[in-house]
Each structure stands twice: as structure tokens, then as C-alpha cells.
Amino acid sequence: MVDKLLKASLATPELLNSLTIQQLSQPDLIFAFNVLTQTKTQPPLFYTQLVSSLLSTHYKYNPSVLALKEFDHTSVAKSLRNVALKYFKIKRVGYRRFELKESIEMIKVLSLLSQTEGYEGTAVDLLDYFCDIVVRAESVMESNEAAEVLERIWKFERPPAVFTLGLMCKAVILNDLKGLGSGLGFYRKNDEFFDTISKLPSNGR
């Protein structure tokens, strides 16, 4: 049922507003995020719920931190009412931890969603969240998978986990250049990695 609704939402984006995060499995969520990149609709409820849940300890989204910033000690009753309505209305939900493959898929779609109006800030923070999962994972990507991830994130420099994952991808690629089946022509940053791949017989492309 959810799968059919998501497919229908490509033509009728308003349908996305009927979904909650509890209704979406990890594959559904990846599909839903892909729909968001195509429809460019305003953030639906399930997206807001995911941000609030996964990033609840992040200083930008922690309800207690945000409420404290806006608390007016000269009007305690009014402040309590305002912050309660604004920051505690959306309840956080428990969500099964994302596995490595799922996190990589989320990274790919979030790198696109971060370029969509209305998602720029939150999508980058979610991107950093999923990059952190991959960075901390015990298993290692193979070179082609690392190249796919690097293609999506190499332009991001500020979020720490995104930057770290970019370095890890470069290391994986350089350690297995013979196994690399895809090109690296997307990479345009003038650094040591670029110098190395530029000197390869095939120019790394």
C-alpha cells in the first residue's frame, strides 16, 4: 500500500502529507526521499519526524536547547505555552538503526535533496548523520562503491562526517585502482588526490 502511494505521489505530491515515519520501512524511506528530489514539494510530516528523531541530540534540533533559547523569563507562562507548542508538538519516534548499505543509499539521495529548495540545511545535517554511520561501520566499501559515494559528497567540506567519509573513499580508491571500473572524471578539486588520478594512464576516467 505504501509503495503504491509513493509511486502515485510522483504525480500527486500532496499524497506525501498523509504518511508518517512509522509507516515507512528503510527501503520505503529511501524511495520517499527520491520522490522528494523529483517533486520538490515542501517537507512533509514524515520528513520532519525523521529530522526530529534522528537529530534529536543535534544542537539545531534538540527541543530543550531550542526552547531555552526562546524562553522569556519576564513572561514565564507565555513562554511555556509558546515553546511547548513550537518544540514539543512533534514526538520523536524510535527507528531501527540503518545498516551500511541503507546508509549509503541515503547518502546518495540526501546529496541531491540538499540542493532542493526547502531542504538545504536539514538535508545536509541528515547527510552528515548517515556519513557518520558509514565512517564508524566495521565493514569497508569496495573501490567502485567508494567512487559512487565520493561522486556525491566530494563538494561538501564543512560537515565533519561528510568530510571524513570523503577522505575514506579516496583511500579505498587509491588502494584498489585496478578494481575500479567507474571513472573519476567528476572529481575537480585541485588536491593531492586529483594530482594522483590525473597521472594515471587512463586519467582515472
How many angstroms separate the CA atoms of 47 and 51, rounded? 6
pTM: 0.83
Phi, psi at 72, each rounded to 5°: -105, 110
The cell numbers describing 195, all together, are 594530482
For position 111, what pLDDT does the model report?
Answer: 96
Residues lower than pLDDT 50 in the chain = 65-74, 76-80, 83-88, 203-205
For position 82, what pLDDT does the model report?
Answer: 52
For position 92, what pLDDT does the model report?
Answer: 57
For position 62, what pLDDT does the model report?
Answer: 61
For position 204, what pLDDT does the model report?
Answer: 46
